Amino acid sequence: MTTRVLSVDPEQPDPAVIEEAASALRAGKLVAFPTETVYGLGANALDPAAVAKIFAAKGRPATDPLIVHIAHIGQLSLCASHVPLAARKLGLAFWAGPLTIILPKKPQIPDSVTAGLPSVALRVPSHRVARALMEMAGVPVAAPSANRFSRPSPTTAAHVLADLEGRVDVVLDGGPTDIGLESTIVDFTVDPPVMRRPGGLTLEQIHTVVPEVVTMTHQGSEAVAQVAPGQLTRHYSPRAELTLYDGAAERMIERVAADARTLTAQGARVGILAPEEDLIALAPELAALAAVGRVEVRPYGSRSDHARAARELFASLRDIDSTNVTHILATSIGRDGLGLAVLDRLSRAADGRVRKV
Ligand code: TXA
Ligand code: MG
């Protein structure tokens, strides 16, 4: 298959370009498109044959359910059999935006979309390209992140092509995504509702509207690794062995410096992925190490700007992993706001190698 790449203005998408992608969707083809969180790999959610192509293209196990994207909150009842008041309140407050809500499903949603679960995950994205695409296609769009299974989610069309060129019919290139991390998932099929995945909408924001939402993710690193049903086998696995440091900034920096020294002395090629402040603090140590071996460093945003840290995280992770380092040492930015989602993604990439300091 040849992948067609169509450039599109993220602010004012050309209707002729969107119509080309929308007609591909209606014809049962795969279309990758930008959302405000990450790029999605879309298919007509009501067409089981089209949905099957998503799993094949990604190499994703059929046991991992997909998010169904709808154009506006009015389409909720097309897909969900029951919408509790608290779910409606959350949707009204934060849609369109980086929020996904799990509700009991209607029979017209194919079982392949929900991996046989009686519930469906629903999201109204705010990105103009995504919204125009759904409106023109006239169907709900099932879309996981547009990466190969176990790769970091794509925040640019180049990331999508690196993973899926030749496996997707159309890629809409609307430039880099704004938020950079996937949506926050809240499950309303249980009481009290549970945050299944931290993401672009913070827990603090959710609690201003629905205070009863609970999460296991702020009870320590064990719980941070907890994931939504179907996500158990899924984590971002860089080629290099990633270790995550979690604690006060000064102590993380000390430990990273010490471990970088030990590893470099053993002949390992070390990469450091950290917010800018940590890399500045590490600079004298890195200068000393340069005499022994090369250490790759990549910043992701800043401790004082969590939005930028989230936006840059996946691109920096892909980038540092492509430099053929054997080890990546990563520092976290705390648990406030978007820090929780950053910590979750890095914990999964670390696959259990989390050093509490
Ligand atoms: O920001 C996002 O959410 C992006 C963009 C493209 O919208 N999408 C995304 O999809 O991150 P994906 O497939 O990478 O992650 C969706 C996760 C799945 O791994 C699955 O565990 C969970 O949502 N999920 C979907 N349906 C579910 C259900 N019925 N019950 C529990 N979890 C569900
Ligand atoms: Mg994904």
Residue identifier of the C-alpha nearest atom 13 of ligand 1: 144
CA–centroid distance, residue 286 to ligand 2 (Å): 34
- Ligand 1 pocket test target in 31, 124, 168, 182 with most atoms within 8 Å of CB: 182
Per-residue pLDDT of the chain (357 residues; tens, 9 = 90+): 999 999 999 999 999 999 999 999 999 999 999 999 999 999 999 999 999 999 999 999 999 999 999 999 999 999 999 999 999 999 999 999 999 999 999 999 999 999 999 999 999 999 999 999 999 999 999 999 999 988 999 999 999 999 999 999 999 999 999 999 999 999 999 999 999 999 999 999 999 999 999 996 444 343 333 345 445 445 688 999 999 999 999 999 999 999 999 999 999 999 999 999 999 999 999 888 877 777 999 999 999 999 999 999 999 999 999 999 999 999 999 999 999 999 999 999 999 899 999
Q: In ligand 1, which atom is closest to the CA atom of 67?
A: 25
Q: pTM of the entire structure?
A: 0.95
The closest ligand to the CA of 230 turns out to be 1
Q: Is 196 helix (H, G, I), strand (E, B) or coil?
A: strand
Give ligand 1 pocket residues (Cβ under 6 A): 35, 37-38, 40, 64-67, 100, 102, 114, 117, 119-121, 123, 143-145, 182-183, 185, 196, 228-231, 234
Residue 65 Cα to ligand 1 midpoint, Å, equals: 7
Closest atom of ligand 1 to CA, residue 39: 6
DSSP letters spanning 130-195: HHHHHHHHTS-EE--BSS-TTSPPPSSHHHHHHHHTTT-SEEEE--S-SS-SPPEEEE-SSSS-EE
Q: How far is the CA of 282 from the centre of ligand 2 (A)?
A: 32
What type of residue sits at position 120?
V
SS3 state of residue 4: strand
Query: Which atom of ligand 1 lies nearest, measured to the CA of 105?
Result: 29
What's the chain's length in residues?
A: 357
